[in-house]
Each structure stands twice: as C-alpha cells, then as structure tokens.
Amino acid sequence: MKNLLVISAIFILSLSANAEVIADKIYTSAQQDLSNNLKPGKEIELTVINPGHLTKDLNLEHGETISVKILNYNKPKRGKRDGYYDIQYNDKTNGLMKGKMLVGKEKDIKEISKKAGTAVASHLLKATLLPQALAVTKGIIKPNENQNRLQSAGTNLYESTPLTYVEEGQDFNVAQDGLVIIKVKTQGISEEE
C-alpha cells in the first residue's frame, strides 16, 4: 500500500512538472485608483512588487512597470467571491497572455493559524461545534468594537459558521499604491480572442 502511494505521488509530480500551461501570481501595486467602473479596452499601468516569472523567458523584476488591457469586469458573487477583471497582457517575446486582476489582501497569519488550530482540535476531539464555542467565548471575553458582550458573541458566532458564505463578495476597489494580484495563464492565445 505504501509503495502504491509513493508511485502515485511520483506519477502526479511528473505530470505537473511537464505541464504546458504555467500560471503564476504576480504581486503588483496600482499606480492610480482602480474601481469596478474601468471600461473594456482601457490600458492600465501596474508596478511589480515581487520579482517573478510567467514563463522561462519572461522574468519580471521589482519596480518594473507593466501595462495590462482590461477585457471585462466580473461582478462579485455569493460565497464571498470578490469582483475581478479579466485582463490581457501583451509581452513582446511571448505574445498575448490572458489572466485575472484581483484585489490583494493582507494575510493575517495569527488568524489563519488560529483557524487551523481549532479545525485540527475539533477533528481530533470529535467536537464539531468547537470553533463556534470558541467564537462565542471570544466575543464574551473580548467584545468587538462598538458592541456589547452579547452582540459581540452573536456576531462572532455568525462569522464562524458556514452561513457567512451566503454573503456576496466585495467590489473591485483599490487605492493608489494598493496591492493588486495578477494571475496570468501563459498559453498561446491568438489576437482574435
């Protein structure tokens, strides 16, 4: 059984290493205020924050300015899926590349590790309501700003349940110098698309 698992893992890794389509996230900074009312066909300038590569030939360096063309806007949807733009990036050596432009969000490592810890603990202890119980306790002990202890416990309980995924995502709004994530699929794309 162990050998089968190792062989299947090696097979999957070999398939992913030979993949034709390379997708990479590039973290950029907006040079102007961006919102959800950008017209299709408009070119916008972004500054690369972290160096990265989209293909073997295309390396983007820190501080480099790239220009992307807006194709269309996808509105926010239920399930907390935020709005994003479909974009087109034209590189001189690799041709056209299509992708998405998303609002970048700062990651709260403390909150992520807390959620992971409670998920593992609830799985090990077979306590399915452990995250909700911890959220209520946190709301009672340390109330949210402008809320009493009962309101804070209720708000935290709601936010720790799957019911929050009924909410709609946020519109695309980025202030100047705000974080914008570019996800580009570097597949051969014709000019007509």
User: Of 193, 183, 192, 189, whose CA–CA distance to 46 is shortest?
Assistant: 183
- The residues pairing with 53 across neighbouring beta strands, listed in sequence order, are 59
pLDDT along the chain (193 residues), means of 10: 66 54 71 84 86 71 85 82 82 70 79 80 76 86 90 88 76 84 65 45
Residue with tokens 């041709």, as numbered in its chain: 95
Q: What is the DSSP string of 18-62?
A: T-S--EEEEEEEESS-B-TTPPTT-EEEEEE-S-EESSSS-EE-T
pLDDT, residue 19, reads: 45
The terminus-to-terminus CA distance of the chain in angstroms comes to 47
pLDDT, residue 189, reads: 46
Q: Where are the domains of the chain?
A: 18-104+174-189, 109-166
Helix axes 109-125, 130-141, angle to 10 degrees: 130
The pTM of the whole model exceeds 0.75: no
> From CA 151, how far away is CA 170, in angstroms rounded?
24
Q: How far is CA 14 from CA 19, 34, 58, in A?
A: 9, 40, 23
